[in-house]
Chain A
C-alpha cells in the first residue's frame, strides 16, 4: 500500500536568513527515513509518464522501488544505466517541467520528489571503487570540453573500451558545472568526484588546452579516430543599450566565473570581484537567480531581478525562484531596461527602465512584453549584471573547415544524430542546442558516444 500523504516529504534546508551569508549548499538532502517515506509515495504506475518526460529516460519507478526497499546500491545501478551524473541532475534538473511535472500524484497534491530521491541515492549509495577499464578497441577519441556533454560521452566511450582524452580550456574539469552553477546549488566536490572516477577508469584529461587556438580540430583528427565537441554555449549576450561599458556592468558569466571557478568569495584566493551594495540583475533564468543570490552572499544590501515578463513566465527552476525570494532577492517584473546611467567617474549609479505589459503570445508561446507609454523609472544600483543568455562560442566553428554552424553559432548536426557536417566530428549539448539544461547536454553526450561507436565500427 503506497504512502498516500498528499504532499512531498519536506527536506531540511538552511534558512534563508542564514544561507544568504554563506556559500554552503541550501538543501541538506533527505535522511534515509525521509527518503524511504517519500519513495513510498510512488504509485509505480504501469505506464510511467515520468520516464517519458525524462530526457534520458531514467527508469524512475524501478529506482524508487529499490530505494523504498532500502536497496540503495540497486537504486543507484538503475539510475546510472541511463544517467551518468545523478548527483548533479538530482540537484539542477528542472524536474517540474520533466519527471515531476508529469507525475500522477501531482493531480491531487504534489508530485513524488523525484529529484530529491535521485540526489539521495547518488549521495548515499555505496559505490564500488572505479577501476581502469581495459582499452580493448585500439581506438582513440578526443572530447573537447569537460562539461556535462563531454563527461557523459567520455564515460560511455570508456566503458566501451575506447581510449578517451578530454581537452579542457580551463584549469579544472566540469564546464558550466564549475564555472556557472554556484557552490550553494551544486558543491564542486560532487563534480570533482565524478571527474576523479572517470580518471580512475582511465579517461585522460588535458587542461589549459584551447582547441581551435592551440591544436585545431583537424590536428586532433590526425591523432584520434573521432572527435566529440561538447564546447557549450559560453558567449555572453549583452543588450546593446547605452551604458553597458560603465564600470560595474558585467556579464553573469564573468561574475559567476570569478565567484565559482576562481573562488573570489574566499579570502584565500587572489581573484578580484566587485562587492556592490545595490545590484540589479537583468534576466529571469537560472543564471540570473544564481548571480542574484551570489551577489547577496558577497554582501549586497539589496538585489533586484529585472525581468521583462511576469512571474509566471520566469524560465528559472521553481525551487531557485523560491529560494531566491526566501533569501531576500527582490523582483521587478514587467520591467525592461532602457539605459544604464553612470556617475562622473564612469561607474554605474542606476538602471533606467520602463514598465511593460503582456500582449499576444509570441513564437515561444509566451505572451510578448509590450512597452507601457510614459512608464519610465530608475532603479538605484552600483552594479548591473547582464544574464540574458549565452550563445555557442565561435572559436572552433570559425577555425575548422567543413564544420558548419547556423546564424546563432550553433553547430549543425544531422537529424536524430550528433554527426556534424565534418566527417569524424560529432557534437552535442549547448554547442548544438544553444543554452539549455545539464540533462539535455548529458543525454546528447551519451548519444554522441553511441554515434561514435557506430561510426568506428563501420
Chain B
C-alpha cells in the first residue's frame, strides 16, 4: 500500500498529490513516469512524476480529472492509501549540451514541464518558460515556474489574464530576440504538434513528452506505440521523450481516442454513483 501524504487542489479539476513510494523516489529523474492503481479493481494509469524527495521517499504527481479513474483519485485525501504505485518508468529526459532552453507547457503539461525547467535552472542553464492555459482560472504553478526561469510568458486562449494568445505566439516572439539550443514542449498533443511545426520552421531542436494509452509501462502491451520517423516505437520504453520533428501527431491524436466511448460511460457511471452514495 502506498500512502498519500499530501493532497491539494490547484484548481477545481487539477490536483497535486504527494505519495510515499520509496522505490520510485529513490531513482526517478525528470521525464520519467509512474503507473498507479487506485484500488484492487482499478485500471493502471500512467502519471509523469513532477517532483520527488529521495530522503523522505515521496513522489509528487499533478493530475487533471479527465475520466473515471482520475475522478476516483481526486476524491482521495492525505492519509488515504493507493493500491499500487510502480516506477520509475520510461527514460529520463536527455538535454544534451543545450545551454539555452525554452520550456513550453500547455495546461496540465506545465506540471510535467516544470520539473524539467527546475532541473535545468538548477544546473545553471538559461531557461525561459512559455505556458498556455484556456483561461485565468486554470493557471497553475505560476509561482514555481517564475522561480525556475529567467522569462516567464503566460498566455490564455480567452485573454482573461490580460495576455491573449497561444504558446506558439510566445515562442515566435522570444525566438526573434534570443537564440535557443533546445525547445522542450509538453502539453496537449495538438499543442505539441503546432509547436513542432513552428520549431521546424525556426530550425530549433525540439523534445516532446508523449503520454499515450498504456497498461504495463515496461514494453509488454504495445498499446503506447507511436510512429516516430516512420518507425514504430513504444513510448513506455523508448520514450516518453521523442524528437518532436519526427512524431506522427495526427496518428497519436487518433489512437488516444481508442477508449473515448468506454471512458464516457464509465465517467457517467461514476458520477451517478457519487450522487447516490
Contacts and interface: CB of A to CB of B under 8 A. Distances in A.
Interface string B47-88: 000000000000000000000110010000000000111111
A185 B156 CA distance: 55
Interface string B190-228: 000000000000000000000000011111111101010
Contacts of B218: 169, 210, 213, 234, 393, 395
A250 interface: yes
Given A171-B84, A214-B27, A250 B222 contact: yes
A214 B24 contact: yes
B84 A250 contact: no
Contacts of B220: 179, 234-236, 253, 257, 393
A245 interface: yes
The interface centre, meaning the residue of A171, A251, A263, A272 with most chain B CB atoms within 10 A of its CB, is: A272
B232 A238 contact: yes
B221 A254 contact: yes
Contacts of B87: 210, 213-214
Contacts of B178: none
B164 interface: no
A272 B232 contact: no
B237 interface: yes
Interface in B156-203: none
A261 B87 CA distance: 19
Identify whether the interface residues of A are mostly helix, strand, loop, or mixed.
loop
Interface in A239-270: 240, 244-248, 250-251, 253-254, 257-258, 262-263, 268-270
B37 interface: yes
A170 interface: yes
Nearest to A271: B43
B266 A274 contact: no
B266 A270 contact: yes
B143 interface: no
A271 B43 CA distance: 5
Interface stretch (B7-15, B102-110, B120-128, B252-260): B252-260
Nearest to A216: B27
Contacts of A240: 232
The interface centre, meaning the residue of A213, A250, A395 with most chain B CB atoms within 10 A of its CB, is: A213
A257 B215 contact: yes
Contacts of A236: 220-222
Interface in A18-50: none
A272 B223 contact: no
A254 B215 contact: yes
Contacts of A184: none
A135 interface: no
B23 A214 contact: yes
A27 to B, nearest CB: 28
Contacts of B88: 213-214
A281 to B, nearest CB: 15
Interface in A178-213: 179, 207-210, 213
The interface centre, meaning the residue of A209, A251, A254, A263 with most chain B CB atoms within 10 A of its CB, is: A254
B263 interface: yes
B41 A263 contact: yes
A246 B248 CA distance: 13
Contacts of B23: 208-209, 214-215
A346 interface: yes
The interface centre, meaning the residue of B68, B88, B255, B258 with most chain A CB atoms within 10 A of its CB, is: B258
A258 B41 CA distance: 12
A38 to B, nearest CB: 39
B67 to A, nearest CB: 9
A170 to B, nearest CB: 7
A395 B237 contact: yes
The interface centre, meaning the residue of B23, B69, B85, B248 with most chain A CB atoms within 10 A of its CB, is: B23
A262 B257 contact: no
A254 B223 contact: yes
Contacts of A271: 43
A262 B225 CA distance: 20
A271 B223 CA distance: 14
B26 interface: yes
Interface string B32-48: 00000100011110000
B89 interface: yes
B251 interface: yes
Nearest to A386: B222
Contacts of A179: 220
B68 A170 contact: no
A248 B86 CA distance: 27
B254 A247 contact: yes
The interface centre, meaning the residue of B42, B68, B221 with most chain A CB atoms within 10 A of its CB, is: B221
Nearest to B220: A234
A247 B255 contact: yes
Contact of B84 (A207, A246, A247, A258): A207
A268 B41 contact: yes
B41 A272 contact: no
Nearest to B38: A270
A238 B86 contact: no
Contacts of B255: 245, 247, 346
A271 B35 CA distance: 14
B42 to A, nearest CB: 5
Interface string A360-396: 0000000000000000000000000000000001110
Contacts of A215: 23
A270 B232 contact: no
A271 B219 CA distance: 18
Given A245-B227, A272-B262, A210 B89 contact: yes
Contacts of B221: 236, 250-251, 253-254, 257
Contact of A262 (B43, B83, B227, B266): B43
B222 A258 contact: no
B243 to A, nearest CB: 18
B222 A251 contact: yes
Nearest to B88: A213
B41 A269 contact: yes
A262 B258 CA distance: 17
A244 B248 CA distance: 14
Given A238-B225, A274-B258, 4 more contacts: A208-B85, A213-B88, A262-B215, A395-B218
3 tightest CB-CB pairs across the interface, nearest first?
Answer: A254-B221, A346-B254, A208-B86
14 contacts: A171-B83, A213-B87, A214-B24, A234-B220, A235-B219, A236-B221, A236-B222, A238-B222, A247-B257, A248-B258, A250-B221, A257-B220, A273-B262, A393-B219
